[in-house]
Structure 1
């Protein structure tokens, strides 16, 4: 069923399933945006400014996700993707709500409880979400749809970090957690209209691991591992680095993050259209990954708030040239898998988490022997490895 939305931006109609996913994901990103850069900072605080403990928290979350995701995918055969997406909303809300009760004294207990909800959320959310996104988007509009979603994230990212910084400064983290949970629960509403998809995960547990390590998938697995590695440096290390640099000023951290994000919105939308119409996705990835890697090199030398703004603004602009075609090509490859789209999604998720774990295991000794900025070299290298992504057919040239 098609949703009759005729805009100049899209080539024809878009599906109602995409509208439901887009609406729910936008609400989730409002809630997530309130945490965004502040969740690693909050963990850094309850772990008494011990970065290694923060790193081990994220390692644990990805390690258990890797081990359990094939089993989770098998279980989803019974539960169903639509029902799983709806249930995931409550797991996500419980995850964020857990931190309302967190303190230095109960940091270990809160870590165990929050990690449990986090892994459950990731299993019930990401597999159905990626499968449905591949199903509910089409080749001629996929770059536009990814671009629109990313641009919406950027719009949200202009408001939420600044708002979060003010809330934390004036009312504390507890109030922020309660607001975020309330918003997160609202993401359930669009999922009431999402169409049902009929996909069944057909691999057994050990067959999944065999496919993961198969030679024919090696290039894409490495690309997704690199994606995970780069993501964990950007999502965990960078926020703590700028927090330390700005000497714990929550409002300033939020304001600078919002200002940077606001510079990239229009280009994000235009990028999706060009990915669909003008150039090869692979060429865009090659161009974007090189310039994006340079951004990580520049960040090593950041020492002032003005430099944070200038260099991170450049970095986010370059990320557009990388992220939109990379994500569009990922969904294109998944869609080309036909009825194996959910199997491919599981492999993709496992690779992302493998990359995150590997990066963190490297980051811990580096952070203990030198400053955090040295770890940005890992992200720079990972950005280049994203070029390994390739489709089975020459579909990326469209």
Structure 2
């Protein structure tokens, strides 16, 4: 029994700093709320009469503005503190959900809503990554990343099921209200320990000089791979809803898939700490690419379950070692410059994916369109492997 317990513990981070524990708890609470609505956002727009092309345009506005606003978010985080920036982002998120729910009431909200989403991202993601990178333990950083992803996925087992039930029986309005309350509560863990920092500025132009730096070209290409994530979060949920047809059943499918992936994330974290992160990433990029190609063959709810599970497992082989390597680089150099470069690069990748979706949605429809989108996502996933060639 002791050996079993020791083996189980070996998959978990055991030397986390208090700041990481607080970030863990805050992230778990926030992700429970976000996971309740994230996959249903594109479905919400789709059921309100927006075409795939219009949904792509919505997210194009989001990521163009996000790239523009991101250096400002980095400056706010460095000037006022990472946790203060995260705190502000939660209330912008609530405003975004309010605008999203009312988006069909006024044409101007089609511009205001993505602008709020971009602003929330600019305040949240640079601060979140910088906070994690600053306090992560170098000896077990992959387990800290994998452990958090695993816990988030376990929380997400319940979230889609709850969300599907709320939408099915009470509608999207009730869902957005529940999520807003949860987002406010997610700030409480960050208030346990007083944040200590030295206010510093973050020059706006530095972010763009780093983005186009020849020395970081391979890293830039690597993060372009995140373009596939945009298709995973917008096109794939719409495809699943069409095949499954019922929000309650769709929530159940996602819950089962998330639970299986949660266990796998712990294994990937431990493997990445004990072995070569680059090898795991190289193999993972190929496996994950293949999982995208098989999605085009899905025609039943059982197929959706199998495909979604395989896709999530493949993504863990990439995200745990890749994020861990990114945090290690941040600790060696400038934390905020590294995480801003990471977020700006992946946003460019998502814009490339969105441009393809927007263009092809005008000329393709039905199964043909979804097949092309999934194949393109598979090709983008191969770009993750470029990180293994960075010294």
- Equivalent residue for 1:259? 256
- 1:296 equivalent among 282, 287, 292: 292
Q: Provide Cα deviations, 1:141-182, integer angstroms capped at 9, x if missing partner.
A: 111111111111211221111111111111100111111111
Task: Pick closer, same or farther for the CA change 1:367–1:333 going to 2, 3 Å.
Answer: same
**Where do residues 123-202 of structure 1 align in structure 2 (5 Å cutoff)?**
123-196=122-195, 198=197
Task: Pick closer, same or farther for the CA change 1:311–1:208 going to 2, 3 Å.
Answer: closer
**Where do residues 337-352 of structure 1 align in structure 2 (5 Å cutoff)?**
337=333, 340-352=334-346
Task: Pick closer, same or farther for the CA change 1:225–1:201 going to 2, 3 Å.
Answer: farther
Work out the number of aligned pairs and report it: 379
Hey, what's the Cα distance between the residues in 1 that align with 2:388 and 2:283?
Answer: 15
The answer to whether the 8 Å contact 1:142/1:328 transfers is yes
Q: 1:391 offset after TM fit, Å?
A: 8.3
Q: 1:368 offset after TM fit, Å?
A: 2.8
Q: 1:352 offset after TM fit, Å?
A: 1.3
TM-score, normalization by structure 1: 0.90
Q: Provide Cα deviations, 1:329-355, integer angstroms capped at 9, x if missing partner.
A: 111111121xx1101111111111111
Hey, what's the Cα distance between the residues in 2 that align with 1:231 and 1:86?
Answer: 25
The answer to whether the 8 Å contact 1:263/1:313 transfers is yes
Hey, what's the Cα distance between the residues in 1 that align with 2:37 and 2:165?
Answer: 12
Q: 1:75 offset after TM fit, Å?
A: 4.1
Q: Provide Cα deviations, 1:197-246, integer angstroms capped at 9, x if missing partner.
A: 5366665333332221010011101111212x011010111001111223
The answer to whether the 8 Å contact 2:19/2:193 transfers is yes
1:67 and 2:98 correspond: no
Range moving further from structure 2, 76-85 or 23-32: 76-85
Q: Provide Cα deviations, 1:87-133, integer angstroms capped at 9, x if missing partner.
A: 1221122222333434x343x33333322322221121111111110
Task: Pick closer, same or farther for the CA change 1:195–1:326 going to 2, 3 Å.
Answer: farther
Helix, strand or coil at the partner of 2:352: helix
Q: 1:271 offset after TM fit, Å?
A: 1.9
Unaligned runs of 5+ in 1: 1-6, 394-398
- 1:357 equivalent among 346, 351, 357: 351
The answer to whether the 8 Å contact 2:79/2:201 transfers is no
Helix, strand or coil at the partner of 1:303: coil
The answer to whether the 8 Å contact 2:253/2:305 transfers is yes
Unaligned runs of 5+ in 2: 1-8
RMSD across aligned C-alpha pairs, in angstroms? 1.9
**Where do residues 248-327 of structure 1 align in structure 2 (5 Å cutoff)?**
249-277=246-274, 279-327=275-323
Helix, strand or coil at the partner of 2:225: helix
Range moving further from structure 2, 380-389 or 84-93: 84-93
The answer to whether the 8 Å contact 2:218/2:389 transfers is no
Hey, what's the Cα distance between the residues in 1 that align with 2:161 and 2:254?
Answer: 7
Q: 1:79 offset after TM fit, Å?
A: 2.8
The answer to whether the 8 Å contact 1:151/1:269 transfers is yes
Hey, what's the Cα distance between the residues in 1 that align with 2:101 and 2:61?
Answer: 21
- Equivalent residue for 1:206? 205
Q: Provide Cα deviations, 1:259-281, integer angstroms capped at 9, x if missing partner.
A: 2222222221122112111x100
Hey, what's the Cα distance between the residues in 2 that align with 1:203 and 1:188?
Answer: 25
